[in-house]
Structure 1
């Protein structure tokens, strides 16, 4: 302008003056400016730097116009364009950065234009490679060639990355751990100080368990056995990098933790990164192992020799610098730990010992010297040589290096304060108030009209002076605010004791009329387990005001007593923040807490849980369960005979109108509607009706959470097997049927049973279903007895059928009255659509009555006479069959023969084992579960006690000694009866055959009464294990040979068929032995 110096820009201001000519000169410079092209190369994976350097090359070329023709040019080694094809070799032309691992080639002063950058050679023998590139930091692309525009005065970057990482197996991944060690440490020190643990979570048996990855890639439950040391890493001599590659491991998330042992006299800093990401300080990180990929976790340890220094410190007067006595001062570590506390002296400085370079210490004045204000906290950071780091410290240092702690010099005499006129409830600024600032002598220093946007600034306020804020005119619709006193302290803060104006957190003065006192409330709060709801100890929690910064209360949670939050205001949004979670739990996300007027929880605005007693429950969210979906079959059927109809074109429509599926109906195969979500309203639309039939109106389809049809919200119905039937709605069944069956077994008469049983069927809504299918309000009008059931004389089964339109869920309860002298066992099954559940013990059954469906509950009661309340005990000893001595180590069980219940389990010793609480008349089985080495398993023995507690020999097959101890035995492997052994004559007694109830016939009693326990007759018997149901044949030594008729025989089971045969064989042997003895006597 008017010949002045040039300025860059496209707009100029020029003044036109009278009788003068103003000149404005613009100059446009279109000269092409050169730019910079920077190419970087990063190499990853299973290749060495030497392999990469010798084999990787690039070309950079462009197209230029010469003599009107477009010709191709290459960028030469010197950055000039040349017509000769030029190779740029990684080993020769690129610079390598050891720290970043990148190769860089930069061409400066390159002509502007578009260039093609090609990686021409990338293959290294035996290695797969993936090449990716980015231009100017953009998205990563796969390929060896890209174009890049070089602009004048700018730098264009092209980044290539070659990944030679070995690919994992399909469905597997690789984990590569890299450890870099730097600083003042030897290889020997490092290798002895570092270990790693790699953990992951897997699902076993429906539960999540922690597994540990070993260096060989296998998982183990033993954390100690999975420790990975530097000895497991590959390492080149002289290199500071250690590499361990764990290949073909299971996919998932792994937690990698480095355990760094302290090395005396050294400081260590540990950083990590995952897949080349940002470096973060710490010793633990998580890494996701993905299909066919290698995840790289890099840890770096930087060691420094630890030096410490001492510094002297004095508390001094800010003006005279004279030492002051009586100040209580603390030295705090950077985590707030008090390292030292002392009282200052006016003669001798305090010595701060053992200060570490680079560590931030704080000098805190707990108590100021008399007559002085407290000095502000001062930061102390030392350099490596022990001198004060003045940039990072805010303490003064004397010429001799002594630290001087003091308060700052007195602040300026005047201060400014902002002021707003606000609503007393909302604290929103109000416009239109005329306000005055009065001096303490009443002089009006300032008058202004309030704004609802910008606070007024009161300038030049002096500390200690009493000012008055006076409202001359109130805002429209508001009363005048009373006069408010304003007094500032020396530091410019509000002297709250002498002032009666409100101050906001940011220091703004708030002028308002007094508000009616606001009601506040108290709430109890607990930190609880998300699954069990149990209260937890040890969580550090905070209650934060709605400004997000003011901590109103902080406490540590208790598992016994809830914390009480006091002074809570309705409508105010508080935040419950978990500062530290309980041990073993994740931190809970912040929870909002808002109360309504009256003190109840505002559930719409709060995200904290409330218990039934009003206690607030803080917990972490449970893991969301995957969304359930279900499949349903569907037929288009004839409305009268329900036969499937072909040819209908049908559609399944989502609740937003989207057609999810279209099909043509079949008269053979139902269509399957897949992926139906519970609670979602679908529509079945008939686009084309079957030939000869009218179109069915649209039908709603809604499923419950368990996948069953929600009949209340749906207007189509199900067949017995759950298949949906689409037809005219008026033909759909309106009622369902329910059948209640009662079977009575055992020691009870029909009269006793009919007088002892009643049934109640209760609906979800609290009403009761009567025998005529109606819901009634009172239970007494719906009591069902066996007299309401149908019953064929002489059978033990009672049946009650109810047809009802009151569909829904019911609880069926059987109430069993006691019958004197009898015990009862109750069981039930439920049947829905022909599917019968397993039999369960109990008297309460749940069932759902559905329209058009049948369901039933079948109860079975077994009664048993109880003739005595006495119980007895037995003693059992496992013995050697030859020596008769006790045998240790056999595992034995006593089992109830009727129920299969294990009464007792023990391991044999050299003394008899006692089993107590056995009922008379009850049969028990002694079973050897585990046999000592060198012995065959003892056969199963039965024992029954009589009414006096003695062994009922007619119903038992055990051997006892003279003390009544039951002896359990079995011959050793290879032991045979000695040749020539025979029974004594007095043992050749007649065989007693019990009748069906296990007692000897009267005609045989006399002949059997002389039988003793000394018989050694060997009999063969077949026993069935009560645990497995399998039969086993054994040789048994028995006191008396008896023939039993077992329950198995009655039902066709021939398990005990060998007993009569064995009895006959024993008798035959006895006769032969007698004949042999008689023959010997005759010979004599």
Structure 2
């Protein structure tokens, strides 16, 4: 059974043990788990507890508990004849276990509790220039990279610059952290920090704020990074970007939005902008790394452009290798939805902005007369700026056999020959018959004499 969240605890559904009230099972409870016998108003942590026939009970654990609780094999106290003993939940679900004995021996039962898979985020806030902890910053945790769907707000950072989130379901896989309120005398951090919550039990994140009262001569460096569509020039959302120093050390990672990403306080020098993940589902491919210089003299503007995926699709006559016009082609996604449909004109057909790193299907819906429809082809558009190519080859239908070649009937010239044979055979039969009649008459004439 699966545990559910109940305030600050994880809790199982209430379970009832149906059976003889004189019979009971003994549960062994570990130190991190508590069992409550609701019927008898008893509870045990790190020990054993008896559950009698007719009793209801449930288990709880702290929010950081994970994995499973396994009850092990449970025998009734009356081992030889315990009538019927059943574990059921109170939610109308099927029985957890049923065991029965009519004679001498009863089989054991067991149950397993699946604790929630959860994680939490710990955040450390520092001053970009002094590296000292900063109190009073409030960060939110969002479900989407646009930071519109707030999951929870973290408490203000304390005097040590630290704060922690509540527990998050690992099923979210990735969440996004962004500052909602800057500490007094600091600029609001506009960065969005993607956090993978699927693998770790506790994730530590260090972020920086820049003081708004720094003297002009000590003004920190400022970098504006934008991600744009290479064709339209519009700001592009959903790309995961990284900035690293010239030694390859990661400086910052974020997910692009409709606004420029601002980084304050980087030391002067050379840096690399790297696209960790393009918006693949929208049909973009990763851009090449960009190298840029950071200087205190001016704001550094860095623009990275994303190209579309491009693929040329053609159909050829299999025997000759020549382009085959008149074929109706369809492009489908994994669910069978038609993304594109067209008729070939003898030239490669270019399709742009197809989802990257996803399996697609190329299917021929109709072909010219005399050709066979081949099997559909499955392919994956790879993450590359180069033009990719796919070729379909169509075999021809076998040439049909003519009527004269398919039958054994004689040709026109052979008919006269057959007629002559029939007449000759008839004449020969008549002559043979006449000879036999003459011989028979002679024989009868001799007998009469």
Q: What TM-score do the two structures reach when normalised by structure 1? A: 0.15
Higher RCO (C-alpha 8 Å, min separation 6):
2
Q: What TM-score do the two structures reach when normalised by structure 2? A: 0.30
